[in-house]
Chains A and B, each alone.
Chain A
Amino acid sequence: MVDSSMVLMGQTVAYTLYALSIMSLIGWFAYRITKSGKGMVIKPALFYAFFGLLVVTGVSLHIITHETIPWKPMDLNRATIKADKTFTISIVNHKFILPNKKMIIKKGEIVRFNVTSDDLTYGFGLFRPDNSMLFQMQVLPGYVNDVLWHFDRPGVYTIRSTEYSGPNGIGMIEKNAVEVIE
């Protein structure tokens, strides 16, 4: 399965190429605009072609991610997907209350995390040992906030709150609280 680190690598490459291209374009434009030459008339057809390109780009991004990022369709249809395992977690007074000290998941399992807050708005995210993010969601008081994730490789993950909840929230870390085993 495509991993979040692989998706982020693809995004890094694509955006870097785009950024370098657009900076080069503006640099070229800034140079050329100071030079004399026949005032080139831009035809409206080019304008409408550019308009079409923007439409195709804007729409195709979401279609491509829907077809290539597995957790996107899974998230939209999560109400109808049966999880192999469900963990219920609550947060109160800037503290995660976990069902167990370590939540064990078998490789290949689809897991649902139901997270509730008794007071403030928090976040719930899983992070790898190198601090990169596996996934996250917001945790709103008054709602059961659920996220579904397919764990397809072994690993150990730390839970962090990914939403600011006041200065008391900076210590909301549960180190190595999730482990995926073979």
Chain B
Amino acid sequence: MNFIQTLIKGEQGLFKPDTLTPMQKMTLRFVVVGLLYFGLAVIEGMIMRLYLVKPVVSLVPPEQFYGILTAHPLIGIFGSTYSIVFGAFLFLVPYLMKKPLWSIKLGNATFLLVAGGTFVFWLSGFITHYAPLYTLYWPLPADFTQFSVWGGTFFIVGIALVMLGTVFFVINIFATITYTPKGMAKQPAGALIASALGLSGFRNLFSKNKKEHLVSLPVAAIARGTIDAALNSGIILFTGVLILVYMIAAILGYNLKHSAIDALLYKNWFWWGLDLIADGLVLIFVAGTWYLIATMITGKKLFMENVARAALFVELVVSWTVWSHHLMSDQAQPGILKVVSGEMVTAFELITQGLAFFITLVTLWSARPLKMSNPLKFLLGGLLGFALAVPAGIIQADLGLNRILHNTQWIVGPHVHVAVLVGLTMTLYSAIYLLFPILTNGAKLYSEKLANIHFWAHLLGGIGMGAFMGMAGLQGMLRRMIYFDGEFTVFMVLAALAGSLILLGFVAFFFNIVMSVGLNGVIGILMPSKLKTKALLPK
């Protein structure tokens, strides 16, 4: 096949979208939209990287810059990561439990709400420059002297749509774990939930009479992380409603008092909810994905499985009590919370994530020699990302160091961007490369060379960008700040060059995938399936 034929029909014409089940199509739609939003986040990231090298105010005024800065992490987390993770887990939970998804309709509704909601908040932020950042520190989101009330209203509605989609995802996951499909023996819902939360692993650690687990470890990790996703969506929805009250009042001509809401209490409440994602869900979902990929690559049982299950349960306690490390520079925050929640509980993340890191490596080691496949190399990249990013966060979560690091580029570089871009995204890429033949009924990757370019460009770009941002942070460069006098130009030029590597890696990956399935295939994924079945894969 020549280039044009491959571009239209895919590599060797192997991908046949007509053979896809509704479940495969739903999952692939999640992945395609998630990757498109990732591309948007990378492009926005590059615009900001160039702006930090040389702010051209005549081209991009500061209001526009902050509008992009506000949407950027939300597009990355909700539009991209949520889409890919939700799509993958809505497929994997029934796949691992050997029964159909509880509701494909609800799954499709989740897809539409997450994709549509992300577009609504991105567009309203881009057009109206509504920019209170994802932190929404009170009363900034209701400061209508700086922001458009209508822009803010649409922005919050967009976020609310994503949260509604999240609620649907949560319902679908737990219903799938516990329900009994027609024709199957009655399933013990209570025992399944206990197993899914890691309680059975905890019990087995201390009991001589070790019981079989009803739920596989990756499903347990997904279920455990899904609890945090549910609580988080509740917190964000409640906060959104609170902000909407102020917006609707402003639209009707009333000016509600900002002081009615206590800024410190609000900050505690909101960070408690946000950290369920940042420090709970991410670490748990990632650990579960590492375990799944390691066992699928090796075909071996997971090393120290009961400990891994129990650690998931412990992480539940950690992620619910860890939020105060975000308030270590808030002098009104009680010192006891800073020490116990901010320092001590946060240090526990070093332990839970360190154990997941160790367990995954040992599981891989037990099966050597292994072929250095795309899933394996991206998995190792993901492991390295968290091994770099978690200690960087632990350093920040210290009362002494926080005083001289908070809100610098250190936190957003070596911690946030290395965790998200290298740790999380490379783990997701590993899963995508692993599931690609399963979800496409045996389609072949167009180019291994492009996959290698993708790997090295993304790895070096992600670590390099984090490192140069971190160096600037240690020299005093603040995050969310525009410097007009070239104070940190050298670091920002290097960070921009590293960022351009990430963009290059993404272009290589996207082109490789399009050439693998063909333009006809991409369109076919978006069309309804002709197969009337709840089965995951065609017979």
| Interfacial residues, chain A to chain B (CB-CB below 8 A) | 4, 7-8, 11-12, 15, 18-19, 22-23, 26, 29-30, 32-37, 39-42, 44, 47, 50-51, 54-55, 57-59, 61-62, 65-66, 69, 71-72, 75-76, 119-121, 123, 127-128, 130-138, 140-147, 160, 162-168, 170
Q: Is B365 an interface residue (CB 8 A)?
A: yes
| A71 x B366 contact (CB < 8 A) | no
> Across the interface, do B354 and A50 meet the contact criterion of CB distance under 8 Å?
yes
Contact of A34 with B259 at beta-carbon distance under 8 Å, contacts A131-B487, A137-B329 already known: no
Query: In the bound complex, do residue B388 and residue A34 qualify as a contact, i.e. CB atoms below 8 Å apart?
Result: no
Smallest CB gap from A77: residue in B:
B335
Q: Give the contacting residue for B476; candidates A7, A23, A55, A133; CB below 8 A.
A: A133
Known: A30-B372, A147-B331. A69 touches B476 (CB 8 A): no
Residues of B within 8 A of A133 (CB): 404, 408, 476
Within the complex, the shortest CB–CB distance from A98 to chain B, in Å, comes to 19
Chain B residues bordering chain A, tally (CB within 8 A): 86
Pair A166/B351 contact, Cβ less than 8 Å: no
B139 A11 Cβ-Cβ under 8 A: no
**Cα–Cα, bound, A15→B471 (Å):** 11
The stretch among B239-247, B376-384, B440-448 that forms the contact with chain A is B376-384
The answer to whether B370 touches A33, judged by C-beta atoms less than 8 angstroms apart, is yes
A144 to B332, CA, bound (A): 8
Chain B, range 105-153, C-beta contacts under 8 Å to A:
129, 131-133, 135, 137-140, 143, 146-147
Q: A15-B391, A42-B366 are in contact. Are A145 and B347 (CB under 8 A)?
A: no
Q: Which of A11, A33, A147 contacts B474 (CB 8 A)?
A: A11
Q: Is the CB of A61 within 8 A of B407?
A: no
Closest to B418 in A: A19
B364/A143 in contact, CB under 8 A? no
Minimum CB distance partner of A42 in chain B? B362
Which segment of B227-235, B395-403, B529-537 sits at the interface?
B395-403
Q: Are B380 and A75 in contact (CB under 8 A)?
A: no
Min Cβ gap B142→A in Å is: 10
Given contacts A131-B487, A142-B262, contact A42 B303 (CB under 8 A): yes
* Given A133-B476, A162-B406, A167-B129, 16 other A-B residues pairs in contact with their CB atoms under 8 A: A26-B387, A29-B365, A30-B380, A33-B364, A33-B365, A34-B371, A42-B366, A58-B347, A61-B395, A75-B399, A119-B258, A132-B476, A136-B329, A140-B330, A164-B481, A170-B62
**For B129, what are the chain A residues with a Cβ–Cβ distance below 8 Å?**
167
Pull 21 A–B residue pairs with CB atoms less than 8 Å apart, ordered by A: A22-B388, A26-B380, A30-B377, A30-B380, A32-B368, A33-B376, A34-B370, A35-B368, A47-B304, A62-B398, A76-B399, A121-B137, A137-B329, A137-B403, A138-B327, A140-B332, A142-B263, A143-B264, A145-B332, A167-B63, A167-B129
Instruction: Using A23-B384, A146-B331 as known contacts, say yes or no to A54 and B398 having CB atoms under 8 A apart.
Output: no
Evaluate whether A39 and B367 lie within 8 angstroms (CB atoms) in the complex, with A55-B351, A137-B329, A166-B132 already known.
Answer: yes
A11 touches B361 (CB 8 A): no
B54 interfacial by beta-carbon distance below 8 Å:
no
How many angstroms between the C-alpha atoms of A8 and B410 in the bound complex? Answer: 11
User: Of A30, A40, A141, A147, which is within 8 A of B139 by CB?
Assistant: A141
User: Are A65 and B401 in contact (CB-based, < 8 A)?
Assistant: yes
Rounded to whole angstroms, the CA-CA distance of A138 and B402 in the bound complex is 11
Minimum CB–CB distance for A90 against chain B, Å: 15
Chain A residues near B327 (CB-CB < 8 A): 138
Chain A hits for B139, CB < 8 A: 119-120, 141
How far is the CB of A7 from the nearest CB of chain B, in Å?
7
Q: Are B368 and A34 in contact (CB under 8 A)?
A: yes
Which among A7, A23, A130, A166 is the interface contact of B147 at CB below 8 angstroms? A166
The answer to whether B259 touches A142 (Cβ under 8 A) is yes
B344 at the A interface (CB under 8 A): yes
> Do A167 and B66 touch across chains, with their CB atoms under 8 A apart?
yes
Q: Is A170 within 8 A of B258, CB to CB?
A: no
Q: How far is the CB of B476 from chain A (nearest CB, A)?
A: 4
Partner of B403, one of A19, A71, A127, A163: A71
Q: Pick from B259, B331, B355, B414 the residue with the most CB of A within 10 Å.
A: B331
Query: Closest approach, in angstroms, between the C-beta of A140 and any C-beta of chain B?
Result: 5
The distance from the CB of B164 to the nearest CB of chain A, in whole angstroms, is 28
**Known: A55-B351, A162-B478, A163-B137. Contact between A33 and B358, CB under 8 A?**
no
Could you say which residues of chain B place their CB within 8 Å of the CB of A44? 304
- B131: which A residues are within 8 A, CB to CB? 166-167
Q: Cβ of A11: which chain B residues have Cβ within 8 Å of it?
A: 395, 401, 474
Q: What's the minimum C-beta distance from B146 to chain A, rounded to whole angstroms?
A: 4
Task: List residues of chain A with CB within 8 A of the CB of B488.
Answer: 131
Assembled-state Cα–Cα distance A142/B332 (Å): 10
Which chain A residue has the least Cβ–Cβ distance from B355?
Answer: A51
List residues of chain A with CB within 8 A of the CB of B177.
Answer: none
Is B203's CB within 8 Å of the partner chain A?
A: no
Interface pair A143/B369, CB less than 8 Å apart: no
Which B residue's beta carbon lies closest to that of A146? Answer: B331
- Residues of the A chain whose Cβ atoms lie less than 8 Å from the Cβ of B330: 137-138, 140, 145
Contacts of A69 in B (CB 8 A): 400-401
Q: Complex Cα distance A110/B264, Å?
A: 27
Per-position binary interface string of chain B over residues 308-337, scored 1 when its CB falls under 8 Å from any chain A CB and 0 otherwise: 000000000000000000010111100100
Name the residue of chain B whose CB is nearest to the CB of A21: B387
Q: A54 CA to B349 CA in the complex, in Å?
A: 10
Nearest-neighbor residue (CB-CB) of B475 within chain A = A132
Contacts A11-B401, A37-B368, A167-B66 known; A58 to B351 CB distance under 8 Å? yes
